Amino acid sequence: MIPGLSTTGTYTTIVPLAFFVMLSMAKEGYDDLRRFQLDKAENNKSTIVLRKEDSRSAQGPEGWKTIKWKDVRVGDVVKLVRNEAAPADLVVLHANGMNDVAYVETMALDGETNLKSKAAAPPVAKACSTVKDLFQCEAHYVVEDPNLDLYKFEGKVSIGQEHLPLTNSEIIYRGSVIRNTPEVFAMVIYTGEECKIRMNATKNPRIKAPSLQAAVNKVVIITVLFVLALAIFNTVAYQIWRDSTEDKSWYLVDASVGFFPILASFIILFNTMIPLSLYVSLEIVKLFQMILMNDIEMFDEESNTPMEARTSTINEELGQISYIFSDKTGTLTNNSMRFRKMSVAGTAWLHDFDVRPANAKDLTNTIPESNRKGKEPIRRGTSPSVSPAISRPGGPGTVDNPTSAISRNGSMGSVLNASAKSNMVQPEMRTAVLIRYIENRPHTMFAKKARFFLLSLALCHTCLPEKNEKQEIEYQAASPDEIAL
């Protein structure tokens, strides 16, 4: 490449090097193009905003107009429906949910799957309940400067003669998704790079380098050092040869070359030992790996989400993971809760209707008639399969034990070891038997305690029952724990 120093042709080195560099640039450009397309798709999502000029026209019903996210401005009033993401940071004006509360999922912000409740101040919610009220409402909002804090918000709203504080419970951040709420009216307070999710994004993200690349870098560095050492050795050998042979040869008069030109010539000569093409080969292999990762077995049918490799930088690291450190199980699973066991008045009951529906149905008739009618006294410690005593309202000294009749039935399943004392065991009974027992003996002390326990489970929650398109009742709650209960 350097005239007078290069021992090879002009294009012998520059053409392969340019080819390898162009391949690497094309691969990086393809990744940038995909990111650009994702950003463009995000900015071109649609949302519904209130426009006064369209209130009497046919372009949008009741003054609502559909625009793109990139056209949303501060001060716009936005209408969000269920399962719709917030296009910007918003302050809630009114929610058409139960008790005027909107439930929001913030998994894109903090990774939490439980829902958070958002509600406007009562005077604001009352003044912004309809489109006509939104046009006539004269509320003045004062908010803090854009910052990174997701868990604290300061501001105030003035409506009429009232001055009310603004807190985090009235703000919906961009990236949040509306859940369990039919409709929410909100006003935009931050857009674009001033949104919390964008301000918390890393401005200059560190490029993740795989361990294989570090190993290749070490090999290349060692090769470069070897090339330099070899060039220096040959240069010194040339100086020795010149003193012994070149100076005595009449046909090499005035043909000697200086130390540094001959050193540069040897470096150029030996540069083919440096494996520059190895990087390009690795990039091509990673690209084909990314294509092969589109495995049909990693397709999620419920959410209709296929596996997608966003980048090919660290493909080889996927097969080398040995340990995963997680703060909670919901990070690695779908955070699905199932109600399995409960303890009522010292007895444990197994709930497995969703696991064994046929067996659970059959267990409703597992108590024999003779056992249902009789009531026998309990002597503490005489039988390891009998639960603690439960007094019967019929008189002192006698008890009514739901496990005494069941423990003799061999079909009731395995034995559950007590956690307090290792030498005490009790039969593992199913909740279908508990329901039948309460139906047959509703006035016993155990039945009253069990009914009170089940009533508490049925009432002490924030679940909202709703009917779907098939007129089936579905429960909506802020956390999967409450839905399971």
Residue-wise pLDDT for 92-126, tens only, equals 999 987 778 888 888 888 777 778 889 888 888 88
- Separation CA 312–CA 301 (nearest Å): 25
Provide the H-helix boundaries in 183-276: 196-199, 211-244, 259-270
- Separation CA 407–CA 425 (nearest Å): 11
pLDDT in tens, 30-47: 888 888 998 899 899 999
Q: Which one of the listed residues 247, 327, 352, 400 is annotated catalytic?
A: 327
Q: Tell me if residue 421 falls in helix, strand or coil.
A: coil
Residue 266 pLDDT exceeds 90: no
DSSP 341-363: EEEETTEEEE--TTT-HHHHHHG
pLDDT in tens, 53-95: 644 444 444 588 999 999 999 989 999 998 899 999 999 999 9
Segment holding 430, helix H or strand E: strand 429-430
pLDDT of residue 402: 61
Backbone angles phi, psi at 429, to 5 degrees: -105, 160
Q: Which residues contact 230 (CB under 8 A, 6 or more apart)?
A: 266, 270
| 184, 102 Cβ separation under 8 angstroms | yes
pLDDT of residue 10: 63
- 259-270 vs 211-244: helix axis angle to the nearest 10? 140
Residue 378: DSSP 8-state: -
Q: Is 254 designated active site? A: no
| 66, 79 Cβ separation under 8 angstroms | no
Residue 385: DSSP 8-state: T
- 445-459 vs 431-440: helix axis angle to the nearest 10? 120
Lowest mean per-residue pLDDT among 138-142, 232-236, 247-251: 247-251
pLDDT of residue 364: 44
pLDDT of residue 226: 94
- Of 177 and 313, the one with more pLDDT: 177
pLDDT in tens, 421-476: 445 555 678 888 999 999 999 999 999 999 999 999 888 887 878 777 888 888 87
pLDDT of residue 223: 93
Mean per-residue pLDDT, 373-385: 38
- Of 170 and 241, the one with more pLDDT: 170
